[in-house]
Every structure is written in structure tokens, then in C-alpha cells.
Structure 1
Amino acid sequence: MDVAIIGAGVVGCAMARRFALEGARVCVLEAAPDILSGASKANSAILHTGFDAPPGSLELSCMQDAYDEYMEIREAMNLPVLETGAMVAAWTEDEEARLPDLLAQAQGNGVTDTRIISRDEALAREPALAGHVRGALLVPREHVIDPWSAPLAYATQAKALGAEFRFNAPLTGARRDGDTWQLETGAGSLMAKTVVNCAGLYGDKVEEILTGTPSFEIRPRKGQFVVFDKAASQHLRTILLPVPNERTKGVVLTRTAFGNLLVGPTAEEQEARDRPDVTTPELEMLISKAVELVPALQDMPVTAVYAGLRPASERKEYRVHADADLGYYCAGGIRSTGLTAALGIARHVFALWSESHSLAWSKPNDSMAPSMPNLAEHLPRDYQIPGHDGIVCHCEMVTAREIRAAFDSQLPPGDFGGLRRRTRCAMGRCQGFNCLGRIASLAEGKLRTPILPEDAS
């Protein structure tokens, strides 16, 4: 292999796509049964402009490069964008006084369509906001996307271009022999000229295996979320952002591409890298915060709660570095902006690789861009097209045809979570209580990890 990529989260999927588009023979090694099984499975699904990113940072350039590329490829790949815009709302005198500085930062970052709006304009745009809002920074090009179809599209394109994906393949050992890596994994050995570390929550552990001494430390940061019923989305059209602080972007209130309203995340430090548990006090805090900002959400039913872990490190910036002599490249410490920035991070790492290598590969004549099935609520869905063989999940209107298509795709799901992310089955009000039996029947013998009864809980 030319390139081995460790980790099949959103960054790893984008990395596989970029190197495959450049003509490399790529293999992606993933410890879990499916892509997006770590940090990438839980986020707020916002396509960021970089308006509040650190000026001059790698994060900013990667986000903005990726934003532009996403907008270039989304039509060909059928990737939805729910055009919402965002408001950074000020609720106190101190927050209002900080808006001009935030505007100056946004303008300096090249997001020149931002502007400060008055209380009256904010309420005219969002009548359901609490009356004590004092004004806001309007960011027109912050939007909502499908957080799973995009990285699945990147991985599918890489696979169509010849990339190999190995699942249940955690990296267990590595040795550099001349100009080649000998990698040992849970799914056998592999030889590759270059290794790219996109291991997310285990990025420092992978770097230790590869180099002996990690240059950064992952400090998992848990974010909990509450998903309100679809009826809640009528009360908010615009992403509602808080005035950020040094530690976190804060709690966001936003519509989802799937018709719900989402509030979160929290920002909780923890040691465990595989236990994003939800906790009642924090979930109650999120609901209370949402009701404080949009009082109409009082008594609105909650469809689901979930938590994710962000691969924060001991420093705030991305931990991207290269050792060309060793054939090692690292995209570590990619926190909450990874979904947006992934395409830009992949371009940046390929540029680092290109600085020390003459391109000996032949670029493919056909980019093999896939057209993804649509799951977004604001666009036509499969259940509206005849011949779908019945609706399996009535909460999310998922058809039998969609489930079968997921299994027939270039990258079929490896576990129940992967099937849910590809179709949204069992993600609605009943959380699989009414549909799990039919789903299990359709999935029988097709998953690397079978569906278990507790998956419905």
C-alpha cells in the first residue's frame, strides 16, 4: 500500500478520499466494526464558516477550505444543506459589549457578511426567542448538514477509487523497515510507505505505537445533547449560538437536518475514552437552558438524548504534524470543528506529504463521486416514491428499500449503529421499540456485529 490511514472517523474518511483522488493505493484501518464509530458519531452537525476561529490558525484555514469544497461537491454527491444562518445572541450587558470584538474577528477571518443586529431585528427573525435578548451577531452562512452522509460519501468515493477498508482492525504494533511500515492489526498485518494517524480519541496512543513517544495527549471532553421532538423545530429557524469563551463554544440550540431541534453540548472532562454516558443533571440543565432561550419549548417532548466524546488535547489548536523521513503524518486533537474541517485537513496533510515526495501516482480519470441517499427532512424522501416495500420505521419514515440499499452499498454497515446512521431507523420517538424486530429480520446475517435486544433501549 502507498498510504495506511488509522481511523475511519470523518477525518479518516476525508483523508482516504483525498489520497485516493490523488491516485494513491489506500488502506483504512478502523478498530470498530464500522466507520464513524468514535468521536464522529455524535456532534451538532453545523457547517461552520470559521467566523470565531483563532485568527491565522490552521483550524481556520482548514475549515474555510473545507467549507468551499463541501459546497463544490454537495450537488454531485447529493449532500444536503439546511440553510439556516446563525445568530450569536447576547443575553446580558457584558455579552452585548463583546459583540463588536466578535464582529471584528469574523471580518478579520474573511467572513465579511457578518453583522450585528438589534434586539428588534433578532426578534423579528426569531419571534419565539425570550424577550430579554439584547442583540446578536448574524452569521448568514453557518448552516446545518447531515453529519453522517457526508463522511460516508467521502469513504464511499475512496472505496470506489480502490481504497480498502479493514474493520475490527485496531493497530497493535508497528515497525519501520527502510522506507516501509510493517503494521500489525487485529485483522492481520499490512505494509505501507506512509501512515496517516486519524485515530481521534486514540490519536496519542497510536502515535506512541508508531513513534515510541506521543507528542500530544488526548483529554476526552464529553458533550451531552438533548433532541426535542420534531414539533419543536417550528420555534426556531436560525442556529442559536452563545457568545463563546476561552474554553468552549458553549451550548447551541439548532434545528437538525432530520427535522428535530437539538440543544447541547456540555463540555465535561473525563478520563475514559469509550464511555460517553448521559447524566440526568446535565440533561436537565440543557433542557432548562433551551426553555430559557426559547420559552415555547416548555413541556416539549424529548425524542432522544445522547453523548459524544471530543478528542481534545492539552492545547487548544489542532495537533497536525509530519515526519517525512519516518513516513508519518498526524491529524490529532481535532475537536468540535472536525465535521466541517475534515476536507481541508485532508488537503493540508496531502500538501505536507507533497512537500517531501514527488507524485509517482496516476490520478484517476473518473472521480467516482457517489450520489448519496437523502435523509434530510426538508428534501424529498424515499417513502414518497412508490415501490419502497413498506415503511419499517414509522417515527423516521424509513423504508425497507432504504435498509436494503444500505446493505447493497459500497460500504455496507458493520453494526446496528452504522445502519442507524445510514438510514435513521430506530432514531425517532420510540427509539426502535416498534421497529427493531423488522430491522433485525432485514439485517440478519449482514452485520459484523449482530443486533442485540438491548439495542432497542
Structure 2
Amino acid sequence: MTKPFPNQSGIYDVIVVGGGVVGCAMVRRFTLEGARVLLLEKSPDILSGASKGNSAILHTGFDAPTGSLELQCMKDGYQEYLQIHQQMALPLLKTGAMVVAWNDEDLGKLQGIVEQAHANGVADVSLIGRERVRALEPNLAHTALGAVEVPGEFLIDPWSAPLGYLLQALMHGAQVRFNTEVNGGYFDGELWALETTNGFIRGRTIINCAGLFGDVLEQQLLGASSFSIHPRKGQFVVFDKAAARYLGNIILPVPNERTKGIVLTRTVYGNLLVGPTAEEQDDRLHARLDSDVLRQLVDAAVERIPALDGMPVTATYAALRPATEKKEYRVQRVEGKNWISVGGIRSTGLTAALGIARHVFSLYQREHTPVPEPSLQWPTLPNLAEHLPRDYQRPGYGEIVCHCEMVTQREIQNALASALPPGDLGGLKRRTRACMGRCQGFYCGARVAELSAGHLAVPLATGVCHAAH
């Protein structure tokens, strides 16, 4: 391959490849520890891959494999999020959760779930009978036989959190390059030279957070991969905001060996969500919706909460999770290569991201000693959560652009003018919730296109909000 010219400028201590939630948390941790960090993302914006679709739950780790790296990272991530969310104005909605048994076989497994939770250090988890289940959730079907109550589970905003992580990193000197895909590279024993779609970039250490393409990146640059990605699709149904009144706790199924199963939960945006499915596929790019599967999700939700019968569906979406041939996290430091891979981060990645970043930094510290930032700056994220004050409730917002989600002109303009502006429609939607309500952009699409004209790396054609996912 062609080698870079020797006068290439700039050498980074750490190059993080992949701008999902784990990549954003990684950039934050290493930057705050004093490293010079660059994030490379092949898409126009962060969260464009697996991280854009999840159930938005901050988990306690009560059901993670005891003694596992996943459990350690979940608990560390959970605690750090609780410590920093107020400083970043990130929403947190305490709901609690219940693992509900709907048949005798699942009922027999509940005591084991309690014992595992206690072994994992989540001491407030307890077994409850059907009367207590009914008292906590009177709208659940009478077929609920019992449950494991998990008081410490929360709902969060899954998109504002990683945005906040990266914004804080940028405030302390980190850099990010979008539309920059790694095509090759070599290691000379001291430095990496990465060949990208925007030229050569040099750095001392590579951290592979490439998600669905993590094994491909390893194969490209190391000649072999320590894991193999097997994409797993999850489809979701989002009920209208009126449905949220029928549920308080997060309702979890008794998990099996392959999946945690279908969840019923409110969202901080005021909706009620059911999903995900767990469908294996080879395609790493496209998560196509299946109308029959979506109908099954609706039917499953109605079976568990009969009052949902006839409730309108606001949206449906599908996302891919970067599963591997093993269930556990695939985090590995490659000796002599200045390389750390972070693979196989599936449904618990939103909770664990901050903890994963701490763990990877501990691996990095074995050979490097950055100087931590002496004092920290904190970004303030705009609130999109329904249980907290919204922008339209403050004067001077201009106009309501998206009436379904009550998104203001000021929110859209602030997002476009921010230190980390959206690169495409998906990024704008995740920052503001414009085009994400009942009409899916049918009414506000033209106005959103007008306001964002000239701002997005991928321009928004007038009226296409409702067609984009």
C-alpha cells in the first residue's frame, strides 16, 4: 500500500474508530485523562450504526453474568451516569423494573434470578407474588403469575447521553472527523498510519469501537480478527403517548440463553415501547422492518397490557446489534501493536459505555501515563424528556415547528449552530425529536428542510422527513 509522506502533520495519542455510544464514551474518558484523542466516524454523524436504536434503559446489571466483564462495566457505567447526569443536564427517570413470569416454567426461574442479582451486588431485588404485581401494575394482564422486582432501573435519553460525552471531550481538546472511513494502514512498531477516505492519519494507539464492522477493521489492519460479528436485528414498535399511562415499571421477560427477550417500557419522550426482537442476519447495513413481526409485537403488547388494544402506533424502527459468536464482551489488548479492540457490545452497551471506557483506559495505563485534566468543563444538553421542562415552555422559542413532539424553532437552530451540529437528518432528529412524532414529519418536514438548508452534510430535500429512518 502507499505510505504517507513524512511531513504529515499531527500525531494523536489515541485514535478511536467508531462514533457509537461506546466510542463517544471512550473519547471522553481518554481526553479527560489527558490524552490527545481523535474520533473517526465513517458516517456524517455519531450514533449512525448500532447505537441509534435501543430500549434506552439504564440497567443495574442484576441479570448480567456473575463475575463477568460485562457486569463490571455495567455497574461502573451505571454509577458514573448517576454521578454526572445532573452536571450535563441529562434526563433520568426512575421507574424500576419487573421480570414477569407469564407461565409456570418462567415462574420457577424467578428465584434463580433473585439469587443471581444478589450475587451481582444488587441487593434490593426481591421476589414478589401476583398480588404485589397487580398492586404495582394494575393494567397488566391477570395472567401475570409473579415477578422479580428491580427497583433501581432507570430510563434515560439514549441519544443525548453520548452526545454529551463527546461534547465534553471536544471542550477539552478532542477532535472528530466525520465521513472518514478507515480503508487500511500499518504499524511501524511505534506509530499507526491509517489510510482513510480523507487521507492518512497518524496515532500511537488505536481503539477499535467500530461496532458492526469491528471484526472487519481488525482483519484489515491486524491481518486477523479475534472475534466475528453476527448481526442481530431488533425490531421495535412505539405506541402513541397516550399509551404511557398504562405502565409504570419496565416490564422484562424471563430471559433465555439467546436473548433478554421483548421488553415493555415507557420512554423519557412520553411514549410506550415494545421490543426488541432478536433475528440473525448477514446484512450489516440494513435493518428492514417486517410487517408480520411488527404485528406480533403489537399483539404481544396487547396480551400483556389489554388496554393497549386499538392504541395507535406512532412509529416502528429496527436496529442491528453487533453480536459475536460468544455472548460476552470481546475486549482485548493486542500485545506489541498498540491496539485495543472493543467488540461484541450488544444491548447493555448504553449502560456500560462509561464503564467500558474506564476498563479500556486501565488497559492503556499499563504502558502509558497521561496527565488528567485538572479541572473539568461540563456541557449542558437540551432537554427532550417529557417529565422535565421543555423548551416550548420558555418564552422566545420562535415557533413550534414539530407539533407532534413540540419541537421549537429555537431548538432546531441551536442544534444546527452547536459545537457538534448534526450531519444529516438522523442526527437532527436525535438532537431535537423533530419529525419523530405521530405524523413522522409529514406536516413539519418542509419547515425542517427550510431551517436546516445549508447546515447538513447530507442535505434534506423538502418533504422527505417522513421517509427517512
| TM-score for the superposition, normalised by structure 1 | 0.99
Alignment deviations for residues 129-173 of structure 1 (CA, whole Å, 9 cap, x no partner): 001111100000111100000000001111111111101111101
- The one-letter code of the counterpart of 2:119 is G
- Aligned counterparts of 2:335 and 2:452: Cα–Cα separation in 1: 44
1:347 matched to 2:347: no
Q: Which structure 2 residues correspond to residues 330-345 of structure 1 after superposition, within 5 A?
A: 330-345=341-356
Show the 5 A alignment for 1:32-431: 32-357=43-368, 359=369, 361-431=370-440
| Partner SS state of residue 275, structure 1 | coil
Kept after mapping to 2: 8 A contact 1:264/1:286: yes
Q: For 2:337, what is the secondary structure of its paired residue?
A: coil
Q: What is the alpha-carbon distance in structure 2 between the residues aligned to residue 319 and residue 203 of structure 1?
A: 10
- Match of 1:281, SS state, is helix
C-alpha separation in 1, matches of 2:399 and 2:145: 49
The root-mean-square deviation of aligned C-alpha atoms, in Å, is 0.8
* Counterpart residue type for residue 163 of structure 1: A
SS class of match (1:403): helix
**Native 8 Å contact 2:24 2:166 kept in 1:** yes
Aligned AA (1:403): I
Unaligned runs of 5+ in 2: 1-11
**1:324 deviation in Å?**
4.0
Matches within 5 A, 1:23-38: 23-38=34-49
**What is the CA distance between 1:177 and its match in structure 2?**
1.6
- Please give the alpha-carbon distance, in whole angstroms, between the structure 2 residues aligned to 1:353 and 1:362: 13
Task: State the AA in 2 paired with 1:101.
Answer: G
Quick one: distance in 1 between partners of 2:372 and 2:366?
18
Pair 1:443-2:456 in alignment: no
**How far is 1:188 from its partner?**
1.9
**Whole-angstrom CA distance in 1 between matches of 2:325 and 2:189:** 33
Distance 1:112 1:300 in 2: 37
Deviations 1:14-37 (A, max 9, x none): 000000000111100001000000
Deviates more, 1:253-262 or 1:318-327: 318-327
Alignment gaps of 5+ in structure 1: none
Q: CA deviation at 1:365?
A: 2.7
How far apart in 1 are the matches of 2:61 and 2:213?
26
Q: Cα offset for 1:78?
A: 0.6
Aligned length: 455
Identity %: 58
| Distance in 2 separating the partners of 1:189 and 1:389 | 44
Partner letter of residue 208 of structure 1? Q
Task: Give the 3-state SS of the residue equivalent to 1:418 in structure 2.
Answer: helix
In the alignment, residue 80 of structure 1 is paired with which amino acid? P
Contact 1:167 1:187 in 2 (8 A): no
CA contact (8 A) 2:422 2:456 kept: yes
Letter in 1 for 2:234: G
Whether the 8 Å CA contact 1:324–1:356 is kept in 2: the answer is no
Distance 2:255 2:94 in 1: 22
1:408 offset after TM fit, Å?
A: 1.6
In structure 2, distance between residues paired with 1:290 and 1:265: 12
Q: Deviations over 1:158-198 (max 9, x none)?
A: 11111111011111011102300000111221100000000
Distance 1:260 1:432 in 2: 17
Per-residue deviation, residues 249-291 of structure 1 (Å, max 9, x unmatched): 0000000000000000000000000100110111011000000
Q: Is the 8 A contact 1:87 1:240 kept in 2?
A: yes
TM-score (norm 2): 0.96
How far, CA to CA, are the matches of 1:2 and 1:305 in structure 2? 41
Residues 104-124 of structure 1: per-residue CA shift (max 9 Å, x gap): 000000000000111011011
Query: Does the CA-based 8 Å contact 2:445-2:464 persist in structure 1?
Result: no
Q: How far apart are the structure 2 equivalents of 1:299 and 1:216?
A: 44
Partner in structure 1 of residue 443 of structure 2: 434
Task: Note the C-alpha offset of 1:455.
Answer: 3.6
> How far did 1:308 drift?
0.2
Deviations 1:401-431 (A, max 9, x none): 0011111211100000000000000000000
Counterpart in the other structure of 2:4 = none
Counterpart residue identity of residue 441, structure 2: G
Q: What is the rounded CA distance, in whole Å, between the counterparts of 2:339 and 2:20 in structure 1?
A: 18
Q: Describe the superposition over 1:231-260 as per-residue Cα deviations: whole angstroms up to 9, x where unpaired.
A: 000000110000001000000000000000
State whether residues 228 and 300 of structure 1, in contact with CA within 8 Å, keep that contact through their aligned partners in structure 2: yes
The letter of the residue matching 1:251 is: I
Q: Is 1:8 aligned to 2:19, yes or no?
A: yes
